[in-house]
Every structure is written in C-alpha cells, then in structure tokens.
C-alpha cells in the first residue's frame, strides 16, 4: 500500500476517501478552495493545502494547482473522487508522468469511454447491447433530422462528451428536435468544450440501472451487483437502491456478464460503473455509458456486499489483490437505499445555499451518513448542492424503507433549503414502496 494520498475533491467524497485512508494508515492530504476552508474534510485530512479561489476553474479544476500541491506534500497517490478532474484523461496521464499513482483507470481507458459515441461503438463491437442511435457525431440540424427519421421518434439528444444530464433532452418530432438540438449544442460547448451531439432512441418508460465493476490489478474484471438509480430530477439521481426491484435473476446474470465484457474490452482497471437503460415495457437493457470513476451512490453496493470500494481502489492502484476472493465473489446481503440530501427546496428543487444553523444526523443500526458539512458551515453557490448521503441497510427492501423513514424523520437541517421533506413523500409513494417506478416518478409526484 502507498504511504500517502492526495484527495483532489471536496465535500462528502473528500471526507469519505480520507476516512478510508486514515483507517488504512495512509497519510491523507486535502486540497481546498478559499470558499471551503471551514469544511470538515479540510480539518480531517492530515495535511491541507489551499489551491485557489472559489471558482472551480481556479481551484478544483486547476490541474497545475493540484499537481503543485501533490509535489509539495510529496503525495504518493492521487484520488480524484467523482466530478471535477475524475474523468479528465489528460490529468490522469499528467499524474502518472509526474510520478504519482493515479487511483483510477488509465487515461487511455478514460478516453475510450469519455466520448459516448465512441464508447457505444466500442461496446457494440464487444457484444454489449446498445440502444439504436448514431454512430458518428451529428453536427447539423439537417443531419440530426435525417438520423432521427432513421432511429424513429421519440429520440434523446445528448452531448457526446457530456454528463450529469446537462444538455440532454427528448424530442418527439422534427419541430421539437430543431429546438432541442440547438440548446444541446450550446450547452455541450459551454460545459464540455465539445459540440458533438449523439441521438439515441428515447425509451418512454425506463429505469436507470448500473453495474459496479472492478478491474483488478491482475487484469480480471468482476461485477458487484447493480444499483437502481431511477429516482431522478433534471436527469440527475436523487435516490438509489441495490438490488434493483426490477432486475430478475436472469437479467442480473446477463447484465453482470455484459458489464464484465465492457470492462474487458478496454482493459479496465480500478472501479467503474456500466450504466444501462432498462426498458420497462420490453424488459431489455441497453448500454448507456461507462463512468470511469467511483460513483456518488457507491455506498449502496458497499452496504450489501460488506466491502469498502475506496479500499479496493487503493489496493488495485497499489498493485495488490482485492480483500475478497475474485473467484468466489462476496454474496450480497439484504437491501440498501441511498438518499441524496441536497440544498434545494423540496417542491421545485431549486438550489438554496445558506448557513447551517442546525445539523443533526440520524444514527443507529443500518444507518450511515456521508456528509460534507457540519453545523456552522456555509453552503455556497459555487459547487453542486449535495449536502450529505443517507445510506440505509435493511434485511429486505421493506425493512430498509422502514429504517429510512425513521432516519429521515430524525435528520434535522436548519439553514439552507433542503429536500428532506421530499424523501418523506418518496418513502410513502405507492410506486416507490411497490418498487414499480421508472425515471418519470418525480415528474408524476410533482404533476
């Protein structure tokens, strides 16, 4: 195992990675922006280095500042968390060139998966099912219209280099496509500096199901179950669970095998997630994209498999075998839910930064809270609205839901707006409690 790790991230995920580092006796180094100086991840790391002003471009996305901090602190490894630089292949290469261990896949594997069009083509060639869609970037509205005719409406319009649901919309006819295409292109340029657009068959009733994979140090790829991430607003996840109530044992076997093939096709190392779209009417599952990093919702997998994915990431990066026997994978136990506590109002989900005057986390059996803040902290408008993740583990789905209801009721946050009242609603929603929901569940709750 390496001696030290710099965590190139902030908030809950920085804190979570630091926790595992401490447990394993690995020296932890935090980097932070001027806006985050008071947050707990800065205090909890053994060393902390300020890397610039609040704006992400000047701090968390500033590769030179992060690398300078790594040099100064003699960090042996760098863990990128999720978001920010985690899927920046050039950064991963620079980290390795400067003699640090990158806790993640190679820059090459990230490049192959970072472009959604290239990734779809690559997966299709490897025998992983993909949804009908474009195999080349679509540059003009004329080309988009022609492709949409071929695929058949409705179509989903996406930024090929995109993520986080930004610049993604469905079009049901040519008029709507004209509107949506322009917006998608503008957003793709602004957020991802790449205007390439992808059109894909739009599935009206879909579940978002993803598979956790680990590419081990010896090259073996293993799949550790699925997560259902269908509770979404603005194409962003709000709650996740594992196992998925929609996945039958046979489908599970198929998607685990597909995910392993996907990883093997690109020689994948470290933790990754194969995202799939599940059509609730046909029962088919299609490859959507691969996230070449740790996911926000990784704790639901940890809860049911009883492993620490960050520890496994460290071990893989250090060239060590996993903590479990890869020929005899751990058997999942019970059911886990994750609720993302966001600083946003529970009705329209609009962001609401502010000062936290009260913060009381629930505790108890089967309850885990990964939070980025403590009482007295200021939640600023500069970063994403995630305040904390509430992870609940139960003997079965009903037990997990019951524990989640109690935990939500016990969680008190005063100051910034927050979506805890939304979860009270969700946990009593008949579609959710029956496990029979799709990605439209929040829209229906708010209709």
Partner 1 sequence: MAEVRAEMTANVWKVLVAAGDVVADGDTLVILESMKMEIPVVAEEDGTIIEVLVNEGDTINEDELIATIG
Q: For partner 1, what does the binding mask look like between residues 218 and 257, x meaning CB under 8 A?
A: ----------------x-----------------------
Report the nearest approach of partner 1 to the CB of residue 185 (Å): 16
**302 touches partner 1 (CB under 8 A):** no
Least Å distance, CB 159 to partner 1, is 15
Tokens standing for residue 327: 């020929």
User: Position of tokens 């760098």?
Assistant: 78
Q: Which residues neighbour 356 within 8 Å (Cβ) at sequence distance 6 or greater?
A: 373, 374, 375, 376, 377, 378, 379, 413, 414, 415, 416
The reply to whether 23 belongs to the active site is: no
Of residues 238 and 266, the one with the C-beta less far from partner 1: 238
Q: Would you say the C-alpha torsion 437, 439, 440, 441 has a positive or negative sign?
A: positive
- Cα dist from 123 to 126, 266, 289, 299, whole Å: 5, 9, 9, 27
Residue 351 binds partner 1, judged by CB under 8 A: yes
Q: Report if residue 353 touches partner 1, rule: CB under 8 A.
A: yes
In the three-class reduction of DSSP (H, G, I as helix; E, B as strand; rest coil), residue 61 is classed as: coil
Rounded to a whole number of angstroms, the minimum distance from the CB of residue 135 to partner 1 is: 31
Distances (CA, A) of 439 to 207, 231, 232, 240: 6, 6, 6, 11
Distances (CA, A) of 16 to 30, 36, 41: 12, 16, 8
Q: How far is the CB of 140 from partner 1 (least distance, A)?
A: 25
Nearer to partner 1, 265 or 413 (CB): 413
Residue 88's CB is within 10 A of a number of other CB atoms, namely 18
**Near partner 1 by CB under 8 A: residue from 53, 137, 163, 164:** 164
Give the interface size with partner 1 as a residue count (CB under 8 A).
Answer: 16
Nearer to partner 1, 21 or 296 (CB): 296
Stretch that binds partner 1, among 24-32, 146-154, 327-335, 381-389 (CB under 8 A): 381-389
Q: In whole angstroms, what is the distance from residue 17 CA to residue 441 CA?
A: 32
Residues 384-413 that bind partner 1 (CB under 8 A): 384-385
Which residue among the candidates 293, 315, 397, 403 is catalytic per the annotation?
Answer: 293
Alpha-helical regions (H) of 152-209: 174-192
Q: Per CB under 8 A, does 343 bind partner 1?
A: yes
Among 245-253, 275-283, 376-384, 393-401, which window interacts with partner 1 (CB under 8 A)?
Answer: 376-384
Residue 361 token pair? 């986390």
- Residues 342 and 72: their CA atoms lie apart, in Å, by 34
Helices 89-97, 63-72: crossing angle, 10 deg rounding: 30
Alpha carbon distance 409, 404 (integer Å): 8
Report the candidate in 318, 311, 276 with the shortest Cα–Cα distance to residue 294: 311
Nearer to partner 1, 350 or 447 (CB): 350
- Residue 344 gets which letter from DSSP? B
Identified binder of partner 1 from the candidate list 331, 350, 365, 447, rule CB under 8 A:
350
Q: Does 354 bind partner 1 (CB under 8 A)?
A: yes
Question: Cβ neighbours of residue 77 under 8 Å, at least 6 residues apart?
Answer: 2, 4, 5, 6, 26, 100, 101, 102, 103, 314, 317, 318
Query: At closest approach, how far in Å is the CB of 352 from partner 1?
Result: 5
**CB nearer to partner 1: pick between 34 and 398:** 34
Contact 257, 352 (CB under 8 A): no
Q: Taking contact as CB under 8 A, which single stretch among the options 246-254, 315-323, 349-357, 404-412 is the one that binds partner 1?
A: 349-357
Q: Which stretch binds partner 1 (CB under 8 A): 173-181, 317-325, 351-359, 435-443?
A: 351-359
Range list of β-strands (E), 160-279: 169-171, 197-201, 206-215, 221-233, 236-242, 270-279
Which CB sits closer to partner 1, 332 or 353? Answer: 353
Give me the 33-72 binding string for partner 1, x by CB under 8 A, dash otherwise: ----------------------------------------
Q: Site residues for partner 1, window 408-437 (CB under 8 A)?
A: 417
Q: Does 438 bind partner 1 (CB under 8 A)?
A: no
In DSSP notation, 325-376 reads -TTSPPPP-SEEEEEEEESB-TTT--B--EE-SEEE---STTEEEEES--TT
Contacting range for partner 1; rule: CB under 8 A; set: 86-94, 212-220, 291-299, 352-360? 352-360
- Binds partner 1 (CB under 8 A): choice among 383, 422, 423, 432: 383
Segment interacting with partner 1 (CB under 8 A) among 199-207, 277-285, 380-388, 392-400: 380-388
Where along the sequence are the contacts to partner 1 (CB under 8 A)?
Answer: 164, 234, 343-344, 350-354, 380-385, 417
Catalytic residues: 293
């Amino acid at each position: 195992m390496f001696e030290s790790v710099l965590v190139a991230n902030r908030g809950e995920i920085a804190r979570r990675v630091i926790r595992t580092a401490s447990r394993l006796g690995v020296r932890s180094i935090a980097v932070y922006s001027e806006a985050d100086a008071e947050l707990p991840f800065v205090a909890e790391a053994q060393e902390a280095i300020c890397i610039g002003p609040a704006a992400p471009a000047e701090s968390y996305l500033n590769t030179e500042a992060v690398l300078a901090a790594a040099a100064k602190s003699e960090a042996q490894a760098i863990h990128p968390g999720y978001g920010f630089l985690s899927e920046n292949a050039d950064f991963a290469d620079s980290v390795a060139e400067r003699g640090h261990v990158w806790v993640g896949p190679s820059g090459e594997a990230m490049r192959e998966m970072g472009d959604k069009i290239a990734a779809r083509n690559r997966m299709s060639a490897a025998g992983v099912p993909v949804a009908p869609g474009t195999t080349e970037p679509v540059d003009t509205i004329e080309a988009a219209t022609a492709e949409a005719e071929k695929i058949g409406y409705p179509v989903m319009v996406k930024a090929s280099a995109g993520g986080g649901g930004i610049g993604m919309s469905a079009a049901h006819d040519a008029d709507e496509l004209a509107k949506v295409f322009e917006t998608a292109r503008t957003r793709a340029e602004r957020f991802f500096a790449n205007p390439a657009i992808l059109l894909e068959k739009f599935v009206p009733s879909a579940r978002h199901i993803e598979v956790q994979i680990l590419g081990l140090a010896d090259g073996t790829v293993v799949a550790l179950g699925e997560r259902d991430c269908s509770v979404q607003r603005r194409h962003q996840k709000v709650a996740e669970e594992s196992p998925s109530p929609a996945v039958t044992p046979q489908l599970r076997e198929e998607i685990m095998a597909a995910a392993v093939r996907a990883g093997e096709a690109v020689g994948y190392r470290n933790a990754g997630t194969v995202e799939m779209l599940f059509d609730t009417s046909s029962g088919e599952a299609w490859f959507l994209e691969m996230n070449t990093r740790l996911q926000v919702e990784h704790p639901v997998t940890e809860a049911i498999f009883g492993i620490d994915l960050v520890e496994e990431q460290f071990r893989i990066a250090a060239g060590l075998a996993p903590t479990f026997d890869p020929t005899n994978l751990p058997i999942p136990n019970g059911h886990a839910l994750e609720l993302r506590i966001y600083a946003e109002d529970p009705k329209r989900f609009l962001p609401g930064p502010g000062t936290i005057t009260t913060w009381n986390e629930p505790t108890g059996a089967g309850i885990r809270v990964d939070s980025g803040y403590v009482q007295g902290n200021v939640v600023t408008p500069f970063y994403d609205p995630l305040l904390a993740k509430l992870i609940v583990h139960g003997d079965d789905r009903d037990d997990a839901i019951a524990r989640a209801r109690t935990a939500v009721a016990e969680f008190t946050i005063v100051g910034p707006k927050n979506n805890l009242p939304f979860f009270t609603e969700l946990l009593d929603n008949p579609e959710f409690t029956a496990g029979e929901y799709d990605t439209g569940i929040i829209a229906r709750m708010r209709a």
